[in-house]
């Protein structure tokens, strides 16, 4: 069951300042560095299609898999050419096609909190990649989570019709490498002043590099690199989002 239900209606508004263009260009450069052949992209957890829009605009084709029907409906409304968003679970899918690059951006893999889900997802991605195909994903990084600890955060954002206030409060489950992010979202209609309140919990798993290396090896990927997402800096306890690059053997 998706935890992006009501939330998805406000998703693009909440992340309107996120720089999807530079993120998509960053992953495209990474993919091209490690695979000369990169035309066909598979995007896991494609959300409302914001990264795919940038890639398709550059002439690439993207199949997007996304569990939330509402997110897929929003992605389809954007009418992005060469983008095919589909409702699917990234831990269990079968499309009769192989890809040069698999992407999973904005912590989607961190939503796979148990080992079986992770193994199923990595195995299935492996089956859908060509030899030397690249798998790029960003996840929460354990050293940063343990040292910095997630703080309570408040985000406020508006458009012409609504004011949205989102409070994020976290609970850490040390033995599972999981943090529950509990969102309370207030949506006030500017004209009527009526306020809706939504609650969603997003359990997020964080990873060490060795954990991903072990998983990669077990499934049949070479571990290519880990770096801070977007800056390409060396990972440290200050790196909340780490980008991992694997290549199918
Ligand atoms: C933080 S959002 C990122 C969306 C998009 N990649 C972006 O950058 O805007 C995480 C997304 O992962 C999706 N997701 C989480 N678990 C999933 C699963 N098992 N199968 C498919 N999608 C999943 C959620 O529905 C949500 O759209």
N-terminal to C-terminal alpha carbon distance within the chain = 33
CA atoms within 13 A on the CB side of 233: 8
Cβ-based neighbour number of residue 245 at 10 Å: 22
SS3 47: coil
Residues lining ligand 1, judged by CB closer than 6 Å?
2, 4, 45-47, 50-51, 65-68, 71, 89-91, 105-108, 111
Share of the chain above pLDDT 70, in %: 97
The domain spans of the chain are 6-141+206-248, 144-204
| pLDDT greater than 90 at residue 12 | no
Mutate to test the pocket of ligand 1, among 95, 111, 114, 181 (most ligand atoms within 8 A of CB): 111
Q: Is 130 exposed, middle or buried (0-12, 13-18, 19+ CB in 10 A)?
A: middle
**Residue 70, pLDDT score:** 92
Residue 31 Cα to ligand 1 midpoint, Å, equals 21
Cβ-based neighbour number of residue 179 at 10 Å: 22
User: Phi and psi dihedrals of 188, rounded to 5?
Assistant: -105, 130
Say if residues 222 and 245 touch (Cβ distance below 8 Å). no
What pairing do the DSSP bridges indicate for beta strands 162-173 and 178-189?
A: antiparallel
Mutate to test the pocket of ligand 1, among 16, 51, 105, 108 (most ligand atoms within 8 A of CB): 108
Nearest atom, ligand 1, residue 106 CA: 8
Alpha carbon distance 194, 191 (integer Å): 8
Alpha carbon distance 228, 56 (integer Å): 25
What pTM does this model have?
0.95
Provide the token pair at 186.
């207030």
| pLDDT greater than 50 at residue 1 | no
| pLDDT greater than 80 at residue 166 | yes
User: Do the domains at 6-141+206-248 and 144-204 have one common CATH topology?
Assistant: no
Residue 28 Cα to ligand 1 midpoint, Å, equals 19
Q: Name the average pLDDT for the chain.
A: 95
Q: How confident is the model at residue 36 (pLDDT cuts 50, 70, 90)?
A: confident
Residue 191 Cα to ligand 1 midpoint, Å, equals 32
Nearest atom, ligand 1, residue 20 CA: 8
Could you report the per-residue pLDDT of 115-151, keeping only the tens digit for each? 999 999 999 999 999 999 999 999 999 999 999 999 9
CATH topology for 144-204? N-terminal domain of TfIIb (2.20.25)
**Residue 11, pLDDT score:** 86
Could you report the per-residue pLDDT of 186-232, keeping only the tens digit for each? 999 999 999 999 999 999 999 999 999 999 999 999 999 999 999 99
**Residue 129, pLDDT score:** 98
Residue recorded with tokens 């571990």? 223
Select from 153, 131, 151, 136 the least CA-distant residue to 220.
131
Residue 156: its H or E element: strand 153-158
Which stretch of 3-17, 49-63, 84-98, 111-125 has the lowest confidence by average pLDDT?
3-17
User: Phi and psi dihedrals of 80, rounded to 5?
Assistant: -85, 125
| pLDDT greater than 70 at residue 2 | no
Residue 249 Cα to ligand 1 midpoint, Å, equals 26
Question: CA torsion 173→105→41→243, rounded to 10°?
Answer: -80
The sign one gets for the Cα dihedral 187, 67, 101, 104 is positive
SS3 157: strand
Residue 206 Cα to ligand 1 midpoint, Å, equals 15
- Comparing 220 with 36, the larger pLDDT belongs to 220
Say if residues 157 and 123 touch (Cβ distance below 8 Å). no
SS3 34: helix
| pLDDT greater than 80 at residue 160 | yes
Residue 241 Cα to ligand 1 midpoint, Å, equals 15
CATH architecture of 6-141+206-248: 3-Layer(aba) Sandwich (3.40)
């Amino acid at each position: 069951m998706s935890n992006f239900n009501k939330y998805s209606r406000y998703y693009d508004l909440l992340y309107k300042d996120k720089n999807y263009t530079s993120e998509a260009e960053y992953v495209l450069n990474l993919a091209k560095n490690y695979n000369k052949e990169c035309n066909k992209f598979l995007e896991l957890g494609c959300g409302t299609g914001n990264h795919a829009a940038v890639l398709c605009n550059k002439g690439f084709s993207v199949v997007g898999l996304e569990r939330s029907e509402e997110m897929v409906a929003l992605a389809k409304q954007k009418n992005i050419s060469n983008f095919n968003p589909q409702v699917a679970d990234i831990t269990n899918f079968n499309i009769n096609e192989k890809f040069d690059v698999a992407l999973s951006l904005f912590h989607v893999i961190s939503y796979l909190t148990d080992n079986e889900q992770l193994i199923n997802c990595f195995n299935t991605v492996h089956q859908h990649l060509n030899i030397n195909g690249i798998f790029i994903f960003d996840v929460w990084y354990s050293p940063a989570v343990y040292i910095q600890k997630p703080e309570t955060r408040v985000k406020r954002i508006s458009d012409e019709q609504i004011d949205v206030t989102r409070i994020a409060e976290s609970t850490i489950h040390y033995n599972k490498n999981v943090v529950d992010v509990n969102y309370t979202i207030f949506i006030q209609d500017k004209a009527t002043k009526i306020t809706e309140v939504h609650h969603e919990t997003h359990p997020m798993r964080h990873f060490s590099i060795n954990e991903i290396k072990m998983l990669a090896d077990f499934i049949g990927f070479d571990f290519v690199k880990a770096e801070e997402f977007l800056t390409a800096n060396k990972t440290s306890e200050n790196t909340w989002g780490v980008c991992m690059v694997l290549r199918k053997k």
